[in-house]
Amino acid sequence: ANIRRIRKVLGKRFLESVRGNILTETEKVGCAEPGPSEERYIIYSNAFDKIIEYVSAYKNILASIKQEYEAFITRIKNGQRNVFFLRGRLKALESESTALLYYRKRAMELEDKIKAIEKNSAKIENEILKIQNIGKVPSEIFGTQEKTVHPAKSIPGLSVEESLSLDSLSNHLAQLDRRLLELKKDGDGKYIPRQKKTKLEQELLHLLAIRDIAEAKRDKLKLRFTSVSSHFVYVYLFSVCIAYTLYFFFLFTSFSELFSSGQYDAAATCAINSPGEILCNEEALKNLKSLSCLEGRNLPLLKYFDTLINASTAAGCLPNLPVTLEAIKCALSEKQLNLVNHWVTQQRLTFSEAVGDLIYDYGKEEPNNMLECLALAQAAYGHSGAYKKVALCLCKQGRIAGAVDYIQQVEHFSLDDYFFLLENCPSTALIRCLSQQWIRKPPFSSMGATILSFISAEHKKHGFQLLEEMNNKSKHNALEKIILSDTVSTLEDWNKIAVTCAENKHEKLSQKIVSVLTSQDGVFC
C-alpha cells in the first residue's frame, strides 16, 4: 500500500512537472494560446516522449500511438505544401493568357512604329537625293545655261510699276550687266574649273604613291645600315676598350716605377693628372699599401701621401675622402701627429666624421697626445657637421662652459645628442652647467618634458642628477620656479616624475615636487 501511495505521489509530481514544462516552453516561444503551431507541436511531442520514457508498462503502445499521430500530421503537412504549390501553379497558368494578349498588343504597336519609321526614312532619303541633285553643276564650264523666263512673270527686285517703266528697266539691266561682269572676273581669278580639281587630286594620289614607295625603300636601307653599322660600332668600341686598357696599364706601370724609385713628386703629379683620378681610388691605394719599406725610415707611402696632398692643394682641389682617410691612417701608424696637425690646420683634407673618428681614436691610444687629438678631431667634426661630437671634444678638453655655449648656438641639437654627450662624458660639471643653462632657457618645449624624456629612457641617472642640481639651488628655489613656469607639462607629467623619483630612492626630490604641486594645485587645474 505504501508503494502504491509513493507511486501515485511520484506520478502526480511527474505530471505536474511535465505540465509546468509545457506552460514554460509555450510562453518562451510566444505560443501560449491554443491553435495550430509548429512550436506547440514540437513542445507537446517532447512532452509525449518524456511520458513514454516514464511509463514503462505502456511504453510500446504509447510509442505506436505517437508514431501514428506523427505520420498523420506529416501527411497533413505534405498536403498543405502540395496545395500551396498547386495554387501557385494555377495562378501562373491563369496569368499566361493575359501575358499572351499583352505581348500580341505590344507586337502590333511595334509593327506600327516600324512602318512609321520606314516611311520617314523614305522621305529623308528622297530629300537627300534632291539636295545632292541640286548641288551638282549642270555644265562642265563655269556658269549656267540660259533660262527661259515666262513674260507674264514679274521681274525679281522690281515692282509692277517699275517693270512697266522703260527707265527703271534700263537701270536694272545695266545693274545686272555690271553684276555679270563682276561674276565673270571672280570666276577667272578666284575659282578654278572642276576638271582642274580632279586633275590635282590625281596628281596628289600619284605623289602619295611615290612617297609610300620611297618610305618602304628608306626602311629597307635603314635596316641594312643598322646591321652594317652595328658591326662597325662593335669593332670600334672593342678597339677603344683595348686602347684604354693599354693606356691605363702603361699609366699604372709608370706610376709604380716612379713610386718605387722614390720620385714621389712625379708619382703624385701622375696620380692627380690621371683621367678620373683613377690612381687615387681605393683599389690603387690598396696596391700602394702592399709595397714594403726600408727599416729605420718612414714608409714611402707616407711621403707619397704628403706629396699628393700638397700637389692637390696647389692644383686648387682637395684630395678625395679615401685618400684623406688612408693618409691619416698612414701618418698615425708612423706616429706622425705633427704632419696630421699640419694638414688639418692648413685645411688640406676633405673633412668628414670618419676623419674625426680616426684622430679621436688615436688620442685614446696615445694619452700624451689626447688634448692635441681632441682639438684636431673637433676641427674635423666642425667642418663635417657632427655637432654632438664637437661638444664632446670640448667637454673632454675641460671646456664645459664652452661646450654649453656651443650647444646653444647649434639650431638642431636633439635630445639624443644630449644623451650621447652625457653617456660619453658623465661629468658633474657638465650636469651643473646644463642645469644652469636650462633653468634660464629649456632646450625643448618645456623643462618637464625634457626631464620626463630623460627618466623615461635609459638615462634615469642623468635625469636625477639634473633634478638634484636644480634642487640644490635652494636659495633661489630654482626647481619650484621651473615647475611653476612650465606651462606645457601637465600636473600628471610632474606627478609621474615625482613617482619615478620615489621609486628610484630619491625621496627628497619626490617630496619637493609633490609639495610644489599641492601648494599650487589651483594653478594647474
DSSP for 81-92, please give it.
HHHHHHHHHHHH
The domain tally of the chain equals: 3
Residue 477 pLDDT? 67
Confidence band for 282, pLDDT divided at 50, 70 and 90: low
In a domain, 151, yes or no: no
The length of the chain in residues reads 525
Among 64, 87, 105, residue at a domain's last position: 105
Same structural domain, 460 and 477:
yes
Same structural domain, 461 and 483:
yes
Confidence band for 143, pLDDT divided at 50, 70 and 90: very low
Residue 210 pLDDT? 93
Provide the domain limits for residue 456: 429-525
Cα–Cα distance between 268 and 139 in angstroms, integer? 96
Higher-pLDDT residue of 437, 106: 106
In a domain, 126, yes or no: no
Confidence band for 222, pLDDT divided at 50, 70 and 90: confident
| Contact assessment for residue 429 and residue 396, using Cβ atoms and an 8 Å cutoff | no
Q: Which amino acid is at 330?
A: C
Cα–Cα distance between 467 and 473 in angstroms, integer? 10
Same structural domain, 415 and 463:
no
In a domain, 142, yes or no: no
Residue 109 pLDDT? 92
Same structural domain, 92 and 63:
yes
Same structural domain, 100 and 6:
yes
Cα–Cα distance between 321 and 318 in angstroms, integer? 9
Share of the chain above pLDDT 70, in %: 71
Same structural domain, 396 and 413:
yes
Three-state SS at 350: coil
pLDDT averaged over the chain? 75
Q: Which amino acid is at 299?
A: L
| Contact assessment for residue 446 and residue 487, using Cβ atoms and an 8 Å cutoff | yes
Q: Mind listing the pLDDT tens digit for each residue in 363-408?
A: 888 888 888 888 888 888 888 888 888 888 888 888 888 888 888 7
| Contact assessment for residue 419 and residue 392, using Cβ atoms and an 8 Å cutoff | no
Among 408, 425, 442, residue at a domain's last position: 425
Same structural domain, 435 and 519:
yes
DSSP for 482-504, please give it.
HHHH--SS-HHHHHHHHHHHHHT
Query: In the chain, what is the straight-line distance between the N-terminal and C-terminal CA atoms, in Å?
Result: 86
Three-state SS at 77: helix
Confidence band for 346, pLDDT divided at 50, 70 and 90: confident
Write the CA distances from 214 to 118, 211, 444, integer angstroms. Answer: 51, 5, 77
| Contact assessment for residue 318 and residue 350, using Cβ atoms and an 8 Å cutoff | yes
Confidence band for 208, pLDDT divided at 50, 70 and 90: very high
Higher-pLDDT residue of 192, 83: 83
Residue 160 pLDDT? 75
Q: Is the pLDDT of residue 295 over 50?
A: no
H helices of 367-503, where? 370-384, 387-396, 400-409, 415-424, 428-440, 447-456, 460-472, 478-485, 491-503
CA-based nearest residue to 406, from 431, 434, 365: 434
In a domain, 468, yes or no: yes
CA-based nearest residue to 84, from 76, 95, 96: 76
Beta strands in 230-274 (DSSP E): none
In a domain, 436, yes or no: yes
In a domain, 440, yes or no: yes
Region 251-264: mean pLDDT is 60
Region 408-434: mean pLDDT is 73
| Contact assessment for residue 400 and residue 433, using Cβ atoms and an 8 Å cutoff | yes
Cα–Cα distance between 63 and 67 in angstroms, integer? 6
Q: Is the pLDDT of residue 269 over 60?
A: no
Cα–Cα distance between 308 and 289 in angstroms, integer? 15
Same structural domain, 444 and 395:
no
| Contact assessment for residue 380 and residue 368, using Cβ atoms and an 8 Å cutoff | no
Q: Which amino acid is at 280?
A: C
Same structural domain, 414 and 437:
no
* Grid cell in block for residue 212: 609610300
Contacts (Cβ under 8 Å, ≥6 apart) of 353? 380, 381, 384, 386, 389
Q: Mind listing the pLDDT tens digit for each residue in 237-254?
A: 666 667 656 656 655 666
Q: Is the pLDDT of residue 108 over 80?
A: yes
Confidence band for 209, pLDDT divided at 50, 70 and 90: very high
Among 39, 70, 105, residue at a domain's last position: 105
Region of 407 on the Ramachandran plot (φ > 0 left; ψ -120 to 50 alpha; else beta): alpha
Residue 459 pLDDT? 63
Same structural domain, 383 and 401:
yes
Q: Which of 197-211, 254-268, 323-337, 393-407 is predicted with the least confidence, judged by mean pLDDT?
A: 254-268
Same structural domain, 6 and 90:
yes
Residue 524 pLDDT? 42
Higher-pLDDT residue of 125, 505: 125
In a domain, 186, yes or no: no
Residue 211 pLDDT? 92
Contacts (Cβ under 8 Å, ≥6 apart) of 50? 18
Q: Which of 75-84, 349-358, 437-446 is predicted with the least confidence, judged by mean pLDDT?
A: 437-446
Same structural domain, 98 and 6:
yes
Write the CA distances from 147 to 143, 144, 286, 434, integer angstroms. Answer: 12, 9, 108, 115
Residue 520 pLDDT? 63
CA-based nearest residue to 348, from 373, 369, 376, 372: 376
Helices (H) and strands (E) counted in the chain, each on its own, are: 23, 0
Write the CA distances from 442 to 123, 410, 482, integer angstroms. Answer: 94, 14, 9
In a domain, 321, yes or no: no
